[in-house]
A = this chain, B = another copy of it.
Amino acid sequence: MTERRHDREFVRTFFTSPTAVEGEDDSAKMLRRAAGLRGMQAPDVWVPDNEDATAPSMRDEGAENIVKVISEHGAEFPGEIHPRMVWHRDSPETRYQGFQHMLAITDPERGAVEHIDGFVIPEVGGIDDWKKADEFFTIVENEHGLDEGSLAMSVIIESGEAELAMGDLRDEMGKPTNNLERLFLLVDGEVDYTKDMRAMTPTGELPAWPELRHNTSRGASAAGCIAVDGPYDDIRDVEGYHERMTENQAKGMLGIWSLTPGQVVEANTSPLPPKTGSWLLDADGEEVELASEDGVEAYDGDRLSLEPTDGGYELRVGGDARELTDDELREELLGLTSYVPSMDDIVDSMEEFEAAKEAGRGAIAMTQSATLRIGGTEIDIAKDRMWDEATYQAAMTPISLFQDVYENRPDQHEELEDRYGAGVVERAMEVGL
C-alpha cells in the first residue's frame, strides 16, 4: 500500500466550528465550546473554520481567536487540529489573505502552532493551484523555524479541476520543487462542487455525486491520503446520515464531515464493527434486519411467508408461492440471508484463520448458524464462508481502523470498552500484528 506519512491512518470525523461569531460577548464562544469536546463527541480532526462558517468581516478576528483558543486548550484536545483558511483558485487576493492568516497563526511565540497539525485549504483548482498553497506552507515553516513538511495540508475538492488534480498527485508528490507529501485529507465539498459543475435538481437537493466520491477515494488511495465526504446538511436525519456513511465505506471513503457533536458521535461510531451481529433478509427486494428473540432470528413482515405443508414448505415471496422440500428451502434461504458480523465475530474469525495459517492451511471454512422464524415457522440454517488470505486481509480494514482509533484516542477507551467489552477490545488490538 502507498506509504502513509501522518500519525493518523484513518480519520472518521472532520468537525468544523466558526472561528468568530458576531454579536456574542465572546466571539470565540463556538471555538471554546468545541475545544472542550471529549470522547465520542470529539472528532478525529477538528477544523476551526475561518472560511465559510465565519462571516467574511469576522475572519481577521477569527484568526486571532484560533491562536487564543488553541494556545490555551490545544494541548488537551484529544483529536488533531487543522484550521481552515480562506483560499480561492480564482482570487489572488483571497489566497494572499489565507497566507497571511497562516503566517500569523503559526508564529511560535504565540503558543498555538505546537498544537496545530496542519491547515485545510478550500476551493483549490488544478494541481498548480495546490502547489501555490504548498509553497505558502513551506514559506510559513521556513519563516517560523518549523521543519519543512511538518504542517499537514488538507484540501476541499469542490471543483471539476480539483477532482481532476487528484489523478495527478502521485506524479507530482516527491518532486524536489514541492512538499506535496504534506497532503493529508482529501475532503469533498459537494455544495460548492454542485455550483462549480452548474448542476441542478428540481427540489434544490444536492446530487449524490457517486463518481466524485469514487475519484476522491481512489485519489487518496493512490497518494497515501485519507478520503473524507462533505457535510450532510439535514442534521435531524440520522438514518440518512448513516446510509450515506455506509455507501461511502463501500467506496473506501471512511471519513465524513460533521456539523454538530451529535453527528460526530454518529460518524465516530459508524465505521466501527457493531457490538452484536445480525441477520439480514432480502424480503422481496427490500433488505430487512431480523429481530433477534431468544436466539431466534424473526421476520414478522408480510412480504414473505413460510408455511409447513405435507412433505415440505410453502414459501411465498411477494406474489410468488413455491412448494419446497426441506433442503430446497434451506438453499433458498441461504440465498436470501446474509450475516453482519460483530467485532467479536470478526476477531474470532481472524484468530481462527491465523491459527490455521500457522498450521500450514491456506483456506478454511467459517460457519455461521441461525434459527430463522418466518411468520410462525422455524428453520435452522448454516452459512459457510471460505476464508483465505484475501478474505483475511479485507476483514483487516475495520480492525486496522479500530486499532488506529484505540491508539490515538485514549479519551475514547472507556466508551469503546463499554461498547465491546474489555476482552474483545484487547483481542482486537492483537490480531493482524
Task: Provide the bound-state CA to CA distance between A167 and B340, in Å.
Answer: 37
For A, the interface residue count at a CB cutoff of 8 angstroms equals 77
Q: How far is the CB of A84 from chain B (nearest CB, A)?
A: 14
Is the pair B167, A161 in contact by a Cβ cutoff of 8 Å? no
Q: How far is the CB of A221 from chain B (nearest CB, A)?
A: 3
A210 in complex: contacting residue of B163, B202, B211, CB < 8 Å: B211
Q: How far is the CB of A107 from chain B (nearest CB, A)?
A: 29
A397 in complex: contacting residue of B160, B198, B396, CB < 8 Å: B198
Task: Provide the bound-state CA to CA distance between A200 and B50, in Å.
Answer: 33
Is the pair A398, B167 in contact by a Cβ cutoff of 8 Å? no
Is the pair A252, B203 in contact by a Cβ cutoff of 8 Å? no
Task: Specify how many copies of this chain sit in the oligomer.
Answer: 3
Kindly list chain B residues whose C-beta atoms are within 8 Å of the C-beta of A52.
388-390
Is the pair B221, A1 in contact by a Cβ cutoff of 8 Å? no
A266-315: which residues lie under 8 A (CB-CB) from chain B?
Answer: 271, 274, 280, 301-303
Is the pair A160, B218 in contact by a Cβ cutoff of 8 Å? yes
Residues of A in contact with B (beta carbons under 8 Å apart): 1-2, 10, 22, 52, 55, 90, 126, 159-161, 163-164, 167, 170-171, 191-192, 194-205, 207, 210-212, 214-215, 217-222, 233, 237, 246, 249-252, 254, 271, 274, 280, 301-303, 319, 335, 338-341, 360, 362, 385-386, 388-391, 393-398, 400
Interface pairs (12), CB distance under 8 Å: A52-B388, A126-B170, A160-B219, A164-B218, A191-B390, A192-B390, A192-B393, A198-B221, A199-B249, A200-B394, A200-B397, A204-B341
